[in-house]
């Protein structure tokens, strides 16, 4: 392979990004060296096993990926804003919608949600960390390495170009011979291992590490949604692991799982992909539901209406999510009976979802609704998501779907589900839990600009897509003729996307502004909230709770707060056991990344040599008998006094 095949060449836009990426890297390294921050980075962040720091790193990476995926989206909108546009050619457009989809789902939505889960869940159940802190760090670094590996495809070797669904036979070597789709198979495999580990970690954490007295039905709703999400992860991700393994074997080793020739079956890929892919949608949506529930209850100043039915609804949705995958290909020529059955299971998801919507509305009813930025996101979610939901029911009806399938109507629908359902939730969650992570609030005024621009832009962008879809425009078309009459709709949509981008810029500015100027005196409970994470300092100390709280009922903190029972007695303090930092996760993940990179280019000898790194990491890990350390009582006392004043 010659060098000009290795680097993507010939396109001025990509060339500019190559230079920009190179300069940014050099600049960052220089800056860190100049500030003498390497040691700090290594010992405080890269080797950390603290769930809060890991969560923050997830969130940072997620926001970064949001930017990358967003730029992809803007380019697509620019290219289709008018008929016969010439900004991107077909190949570029194909690459960009592929990376947009993969990044937004797997490298934006997942890390942002898992990041918030990481920060919040141990605090909400009154634990000191997750069950397996080191594994948690490994999960993060595997995700991060996978995201980086996926992103360098842009400048080295070429991006995947078979859609985020990567349907075979198109994604096979015969039809897409470059390395692009190798990147897809291998980077998602690495990310998937990390996610599976996260799932296992949270299941065990929630089963085993709840504060004394917190029985199942006394858990905060966000913990419930995280728990059920983690179970879906454990049940669904191995399917994707196998599908990606087959894909890798087909592309790298010439097997015939999904090929047209020699007895392969491309439809096997579709089934395996959606057996994972549909639950994946609920993996990102269910924790979001949990966050909305917390935010709505807090700012309506009321407890969550119908808590138990909410739990059952989430469990019901999770169960049904495994039984609907065929609705992604009603048009495959299945028998009428099969399509009818899957129409029914799909529509049944509307039932628990409807229950949730009404429970949220009734939580608001008779409340005292405060329009904080966080609450605005939760409120905007209800109408926007309703549109996504009802169009989902329309799509669920197989016969009608013959007219919507693969059209812009479908694209509009899933953006109306995923943006209100996930992105709004992440924003709500960030504004809400920001003080717990960093000890200061995000600015409310800039936050409202962020909110209005984003929500208006979102509706303007995606509403027109319903109509062009019904007018026969299929998805993933890089261009269209003037005579179609779609230009006006899509022009509007493009303007909307710019407004949405302005909203995102407002968020970034808000983070910058608040970091510099926001008041550092937020107190432990700035929103007058209900759950345990607000019982400890903001930002939460590394040991979370000086004394593990005891719980008598749901929203225990709310009632203790009213009775003034949240104080801490000096005599309650005992040394706290904490896990030590570890270098194995980051090194192990890096080795995975290097092996992955070599595999992408089918340099097998190098891959085998590099996989020694993985073996060394694993061996080092099994011989690691580090038992962690104890924080002495004086240190606890000092830190607690800082925000509580005097101890009793």
Radius of gyration of the chain, Cα coordinates, nearest whole angstrom: 25
Stretch that binds other proteins, among 36-44, 60-68, 101-109, 405-413 (CB under 8 A): 405-413
Give 79 or 112: the residue with its C-beta nearer to other proteins. Answer: 79
Residue in 75, 272, 295, 535 binding other proteins, rule: CB under 8 A:
272
The answer to the question of residue 26 lying near other proteins (CB under 8 A) is: no
Q: For Cα atoms 329, 333, 334, give the angle at the middle one, nearest 5 degrees.
A: 75
The answer to the question of residue 208 lying near other proteins (CB under 8 A) is: yes
User: In angstroms, rounded to a whole number, what is the distance separating the alpha carbons of residues 204 and 213?
Assistant: 17
Stretch that binds other proteins, among 116-124, 421-429, 470-478, 536-544 (CB under 8 A): 470-478
The answer to the question of residue 3 lying near other proteins (CB under 8 A) is: no
The answer to the question of residue 129 lying near other proteins (CB under 8 A) is: no
User: In angstroms, rounded to a whole number, what is the distance separating the alpha carbons of residues 173 and 397?
Assistant: 35
Give 34 or 253: the residue with its C-beta nearer to other proteins. Answer: 253
Residue in 64, 71, 235, 252 binding other proteins, rule: CB under 8 A:
235
Residues paired with 630 in a beta bridge: 577
Query: Smallest distance, Å, CB 246 to other proteins?
Result: 7
Give 166 or 187: the residue with its C-beta nearer to other proteins. Answer: 166
Residue in 2, 3, 10, 563 binding other proteins, rule: CB under 8 A:
10
User: In angstroms, rounded to a whole number, what is the distance separating the alpha carbons of residues 37 and 45?
Assistant: 11
Mark 156-185 with x for binding to other proteins (rule: CB under 8 A) and - for no binding: --x--xxx---xxxx--xxxxxx-------
User: In angstroms, rounded to a whole number, what is the distance separating the alpha carbons of residues 503 and 499?
Assistant: 6
Query: Smallest distance, Å, CB 275 to other proteins?
Result: 8
User: In angstroms, rounded to a whole number, what is the distance separating the alpha carbons of residues 73 and 94?
Assistant: 12
The answer to the question of residue 8 lying near other proteins (CB under 8 A) is: yes
Query: Smallest distance, Å, CB 394 to other proteins?
Result: 5
Give 515 or 604: the residue with its C-beta nearer to other proteins. Answer: 604
Structure tokens of 254? 């010439």
> Which residues, numbered 417-456, are part of the site for other proteins (CB under 8 A)?
448-449, 452, 456
- CB 2: neighbour CB atoms within 10 A? 6
The answer to the question of residue 86 lying near other proteins (CB under 8 A) is: no
Q: How many residues bind other proteins (CB under 8 A)?
A: 151
Backbone phi and psi for residue 622, each to the nearest 5 degrees, phi listed first: -70, -25
Query: Smallest distance, Å, CB 609 to other proteins?
Result: 18
> Which residues, numbered 570-599, are part of the site for other proteins (CB under 8 A)?
none
CA distances from 434 to 347, 515, 577 (A): 37, 11, 26
Helix (H) or strand (E) segment spanning residue 291: helix 266-300
Give 60 or 400: the residue with its C-beta nearer to other proteins. Answer: 400
Task: Judge contact between 585 and 624, C-beta under 8 A.
Answer: no
> Which residues, numbered 474-513, are part of the site for other proteins (CB under 8 A)?
474-481, 483-485, 488-489, 492, 499
User: In angstroms, rounded to a whole number, what is the distance separating the alpha carbons of residues 7 and 155?
Assistant: 6
Give 125 or 537: the residue with its C-beta nearer to other proteins. Answer: 125
Q: Specify the length of the chain in residues.
A: 648
> Which residues, numbered 512-551, are part of the site for other proteins (CB under 8 A)?
none
User: In angstroms, rounded to a whole number, what is the distance separating the alpha carbons of residues 412 and 425?
Assistant: 19
Query: Smallest distance, Å, CB 586 to other proteins?
Result: 21
Residue in 73, 101, 388, 464 binding other proteins, rule: CB under 8 A:
464
DSSP string, 452-513: HHHHHHHHHHHHHHHHHHHTTPBTT-S---GGG--HHHHHHHHHHHHHHHHHHHHHHHHHHH
Backbone phi and psi for residue 47, each to the nearest 5 degrees, phi listed first: -105, 5
| Eight-class DSSP state of 442 | P
Residue in 306, 319, 498, 601 binding other proteins, rule: CB under 8 A:
306
Residue in 74, 85, 249, 315 binding other proteins, rule: CB under 8 A:
249
User: In angstroms, rounded to a whole number, what is the distance separating the alpha carbons of residues 392 and 413?
Assistant: 7
The answer to the question of residue 217 lying near other proteins (CB under 8 A) is: no
User: In angstroms, rounded to a whole number, what is the distance separating the alpha carbons of residues 591 and 605?
Assistant: 15
- CB 115: neighbour CB atoms within 10 A? 26
User: In angstroms, rounded to a whole number, what is the distance separating the alpha carbons of residues 357 and 389?
Assistant: 10
CA distances from 103 to 69, 71, 150, 166, 192 (A): 6, 11, 9, 14, 13
Query: Smallest distance, Å, CB 555 to other proteins?
Result: 9
Give 14 or 323: the residue with its C-beta nearer to other proteins. Answer: 14
Mark 91-120 with x for binding to other proteins (rule: CB under 8 A) and - for no binding: xx-x--------------------------
The answer to the question of residue 78 lying near other proteins (CB under 8 A) is: no
Query: Smallest distance, Å, CB 262 to other proteins?
Result: 4
Structure tokens of 610? 């590099």
Query: Smallest distance, Å, CB 397 to other proteins?
Result: 4
Mark 327-366 with x for binding to other proteins (rule: CB under 8 A) and - for no binding: --x-xxx--x--xx--xx--xx-xx--xx-xxx-xx-xxx
């Amino acid at each position: 392979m010659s060098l000009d095949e290795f680097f993507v060449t010939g396109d001025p836009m990509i060339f500019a990004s190559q230079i920009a990426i190179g300069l940014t890297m050099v600049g960052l390294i220089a800056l860190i060296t100049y500030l003498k921050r390497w040691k700090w980075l290594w010992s405080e962040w890269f080797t950390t096993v603290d769930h809060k720091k890991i969560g923050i790193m997830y969130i940072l990476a997620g926001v970064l990926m949001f930017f990358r995926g967003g730029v992809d989206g803007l380019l697509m909108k620019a290219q289709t804003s008018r008929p016969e546009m010439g900004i991107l050619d077909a190949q570029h457009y194909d690459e960009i919608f592929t990376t947009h989809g993969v990044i937004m789902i797997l490298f934006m939505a997942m890390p942002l949600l898992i990041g918030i889960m990481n920060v919040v869940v141990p605090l909400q159940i009154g634990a000191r960390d997750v069950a397996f802190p080191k594994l948690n760090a490994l999960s993060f670094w595997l995700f991060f390495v996978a995201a980086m590996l996926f992103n360098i495809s842009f400048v080295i070797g070429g991006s995947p170009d078979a859609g985020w669904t990567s349907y075979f036979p198109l994604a096979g070597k015969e039809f897409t011979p470059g390395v692009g789709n190798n990147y897809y198979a291998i980077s998602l495999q690495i990310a998937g291992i990390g996610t599976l580990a996260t799932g296992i970690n949270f299941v065990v954490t929630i089963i085993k590490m709840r504060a004394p007295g917190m029985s199942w039905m006394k858990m905060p709703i966000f913990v419930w949604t995280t728990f059920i999400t983690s179970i879906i992860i454990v049940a669904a991700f191995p399917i994707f692991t196998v599908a990606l393994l087959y894909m890798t074997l087909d592309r790298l080793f010439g097997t015939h799982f999904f090929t047209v020739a020699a007895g392969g079956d491309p439809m096997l890929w579709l089934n395996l992909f959606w057996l994972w892919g549909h639950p994946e949608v609920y993996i990102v949506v269910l924790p979001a539901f949990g966050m909305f529930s917390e935010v709505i209850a807090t700012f309506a100043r009321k407890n969550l209406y119908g808590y138990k039915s909410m739990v059952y609804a989430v469990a019901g949705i999770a169960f049904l999510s495994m039984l609907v995958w065929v609705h992604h290909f009603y048009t495959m020529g299945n028998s009428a009976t099969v399509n009818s059955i899957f129409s029914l299971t799909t529509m049944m998801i509307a039932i628990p979802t409807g229950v949730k919507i009404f429970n949220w509305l009734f939580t608001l009813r008779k409340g005292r609704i405060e329009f904080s930025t966080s609450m605005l996101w939760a409120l905007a979610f209800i109408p926007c998501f309703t549109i996504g939901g009802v169009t989902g029911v329309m799509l669920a009806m197989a016969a009608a779907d013959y007219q919507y399938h693969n059209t812009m109507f479908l694209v509009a629908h899933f953006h109306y589900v995923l943006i209100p359902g996930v992105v709004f939730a992440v924003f709500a969650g960030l504004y809400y839990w920001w003080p717990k992570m960093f000890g200061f609030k995000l600015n409310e005024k800039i936050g409202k600009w962020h909110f209005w621009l984003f929500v208006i832009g979102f509706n303007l962008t995606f509403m027109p897509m319903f109509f062009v879809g019904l007018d026969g425009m299929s998805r993933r078309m890089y261009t269209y003729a003037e005579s179609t009459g779609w230009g006006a709709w899509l022009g509007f949509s493009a303007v909307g996307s710019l407004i949405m981008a302005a909203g995102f810029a407002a968020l970034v500015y808000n983070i910058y502004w608040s970091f510099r100027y926001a008041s550092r005196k937020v107190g432990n409970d700035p929103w007058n909230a209900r759950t345990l994470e607000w019982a400890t300092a903001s930002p939460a100390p590394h040991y979370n709770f000086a004394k593990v709280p005891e719980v008598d009922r749901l929203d225990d903190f709310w009632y203790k707060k009213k009775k003034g029972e949240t104080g801490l007695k000096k005599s309650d303090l005992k040394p706290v056991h904490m896990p030590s930092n570890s270098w194995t996760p980051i090194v192990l993940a890096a080795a995975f990344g290097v092996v992955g990179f070599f595999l992408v280019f089918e340099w097998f000898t190098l891959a085998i040599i590099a996989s020694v790194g993985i073996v060394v990491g694993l061996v080092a890990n099994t011989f690691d008998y580090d038992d962690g350390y104890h924080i002495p009582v004086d240190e606890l006392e000092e830190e607690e006094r800082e925000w509580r004043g005097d101890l009793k």
